[in-house]
Amino acid sequence: MSLVGQMYKREKPIPEWKTLMLRELEELFSKHRVVLFADLTGTPTFVVQRVRKKLWKKYPMMVAKKRIILRAMKAAGLELDDNLLDDLVRGQMLLVFADGNPFKIVKEVEKEKVAMPVKPGDKAETEIRIPEGMTNLTPGPILSVFGKLRIQYQVRGGKIYIAKETVVAKPGDVISEDLAGLLMALGIRPIEKGVRVKFAIDGGVLITEDLLRPDIEAFRGDVIDAAKEALGLATEIVYMPVPEAVESAIVKAALAASALAAETGFIAPGTVEDVVRKAIAEEAAVVALLGDKARELGIEEAAPAAAPAAEEKAEEEKKEEEEEKKEDQELSGLDSIFGGF
């Protein structure tokens, strides 16, 4: 029996407002492809009101409890794992209905926050600083708190002036009663409270919380690495539908042919210089290996003809151009394969 079917049977008639809410929720579930579920446990009412006030024109929203949410989902034909939903849907939840990208909508909903004061016993979520400047506080017993917290101050015109910005709490620190009182007196609200989306449904597919906030930069890096590997593979197998791969393969084949010609001593236009250089290098190696014996045998290392400086420079520039061209081919290949990601 499904989770909804296991629910107790109500003896009293269902209030009309609940029936209307159920119908409205069912309609929203049926009408919209994307639904965000935000757990409101421990969330102040004014925080929810702030989110609804900011976004209600873009996204229909409703606050409902577990039982009516599950009934509405069932009535709308959303066939999801009942046991999984039983674990995910807890207490009162804010439902946000939409039809766009769920990941972007999650960011949009969660960025709406309200500044709140801290209470004694709270843990600092971020670093808390008291800025330099004039306050509306008058000297008195509160100066002892400044001393405890090591906040430098001066008295100017009968008011307390904070002489230097001071860090009074680091992330994870427990807020003392003195610090909470001082922050309240200074009007500093260091906590930003908003709603947090627990899971989402997109076209009947459930997206759990761990997948709702992907690391975009890491994902981008993975895609670029995959594109490079794909281009490398396409070059290796000379994949014809990718022109950049064919060009890279031709360059690679030309370099391999040049190296093979030099290795085998094959004379052809464009290989003479490489063959001669290799022969001279091999001769030099033999002479070095024979040492004094080479002189006894009358073997001397051939001196290579000095190339004009302009010719050497032109050769270096040519090699640099070839390297740049190869890099451009690889980068343009990424666009060809992945549509300019």
For the segment 108-126, the average pLDDT, to the nearest whole number, is: 90
Strands 133-134, 159-162: pairing is antiparallel
For the segment 144-156, the average pLDDT, to the nearest whole number, is: 93
Contact predicate 132/162, CB 8 Å:
yes
For the segment 250-278, the average pLDDT, to the nearest whole number, is: 69
162 in the same domain as 89: no
For the segment 286-307, the average pLDDT, to the nearest whole number, is: 61
Does residue 105 surpass a pLDDT of 70?
yes
157 in the same domain as 88: no
For the segment 62-88, the average pLDDT, to the nearest whole number, is: 86
User: 221 pairs with which residues across the strands?
Assistant: none
Nearest alpha-carbon partner for 186 in 115, 137, 114:
137
- Please report how many Cα atoms fall inside a 13 Å half-sphere around the Cα of residue 197, on the Cβ side: 30
Hunting for tokens 């209307």 — which residue is that?
Answer: 20
Question: By mean pLDDT, which of 27-36, 73-82, 270-279 is the weakest?
Answer: 270-279
User: 193 pairs with which residues across the strands?
Assistant: 114
What sign has the CA pseudo-torsion 175, 180, 183, 188?
positive
Q: Quick one: pLDDT at residue 88? A: 86
Q: Quick one: pLDDT at residue 297? A: 63
Question: By mean pLDDT, which of 30-39, 171-180, 248-257, 300-309 is the weakest?
Answer: 300-309
181 in the same domain as 86: no
Q: Helix 216-237 and helix 243-264: axis angle, to 10°?
A: 50
Evaluate whether residue 70 is within a structural domain.
yes
Tokens standing for residue 72: 């509405």
For the segment 228-256, the average pLDDT, to the nearest whole number, is: 68
For the segment 134-142, the average pLDDT, to the nearest whole number, is: 93
Does residue 312 surpass a pLDDT of 80?
no
Hunting for tokens 């709406």 — which residue is that?
Answer: 112
Return d(Cα 122, Cα 93) in angstroms, integer.
Answer: 24
Q: Supply the DSSP string of 128-175, one letter for each residue.
A: EEE-SEE-SPPSSTHHHHHHHTT--EEEETTEEEE-S-EEEE-TTPBP
CB-neighbour burial class of residue 11 (10 A; exposed 0-12, middle 13-18, buried 19+): exposed
| pLDDT confidence band for 296 (50 / 70 / 90) | low
| pLDDT confidence band for 226 (50 / 70 / 90) | confident
Return d(Cα 18, Cα 24) in angstroms, integer.
Answer: 10
> Which has more pLDDT, 54 or 317?
54
Does residue 95 surpass a pLDDT of 90?
yes
Evaluate whether residue 311 is within a structural domain.
yes
What is the domain-level CATH number for residue 96? 3.30.70.1730
Q: Quick one: pLDDT at residue 267? A: 66
209 in the same domain as 81: yes
235 in the same domain as 326: yes
Question: By mean pLDDT, which of 64-68, 139-143, 235-239 is the weakest?
Answer: 235-239
User: What's the angle, vertex CA 56, arms to CA 50 and CA 59, rounded to 5?
Assistant: 125
Evaluate whether residue 23 is within a structural domain.
yes
Hunting for tokens 């040049």 — which residue is that?
Answer: 258
pLDDT tens digits, one per residue of 19-57: 898 999 999 999 999 999 999 988 888 899 999 999 988
Task: Count the domains in the chain.
Answer: 3
Element (H, E) at 320: helix 309-338
Q: Quick one: pLDDT at residue 243? A: 67
171 in the same domain as 64: no
Does residue 273 surpass a pLDDT of 50?
yes
Does residue 323 surpass a pLDDT of 90?
no
Evaluate whether residue 35 is within a structural domain.
yes
| pLDDT confidence band for 320 (50 / 70 / 90) | low
Return d(Cα 154, Cα 264) in angstroms, integer.
Answer: 87
Whole-number CA gyration radius for the chain: 37
Return d(Cα 153, Cα 146) in angstroms, integer.
Answer: 8
3-state SS, residue 204: coil
Q: Which residues contact 127 (CB under 8 A, 6 or more apart)?
A: 167, 169, 170, 171
| pLDDT confidence band for 7 (50 / 70 / 90) | low
Among candidate residues 159, 181, 214, the one where a domain is terminated? 214
| pLDDT confidence band for 339 (50 / 70 / 90) | very low
Count the helix, strand and coil residues of the chain and give each as a percent rounded to the nearest 5.
50, 15, 35
Does residue 313 surpass a pLDDT of 60?
no
pLDDT tens digits, one per residue of 162-208: 999 999 999 999 999 999 999 999 999 998 889 999 999 999 899 99
Structural domain span for residue 302? 217-338
| pLDDT confidence band for 336 (50 / 70 / 90) | very low
Q: Which residues contact 166 (CB under 8 A, 6 or more apart)?
A: 129, 130, 149, 150, 151, 152
207 in the same domain as 316: no
209 in the same domain as 78: yes
List helix spans (H) across 291-308: 292-296
277 in the same domain as 174: no
198 in the same domain as 93: yes
Does residue 331 surpass a pLDDT of 50?
no
109 in the same domain as 39: yes
77 in the same domain as 34: yes
Question: Mean of the per-residue pLDDT values for the chain?
Answer: 79
In this prediction the pTM is 0.57
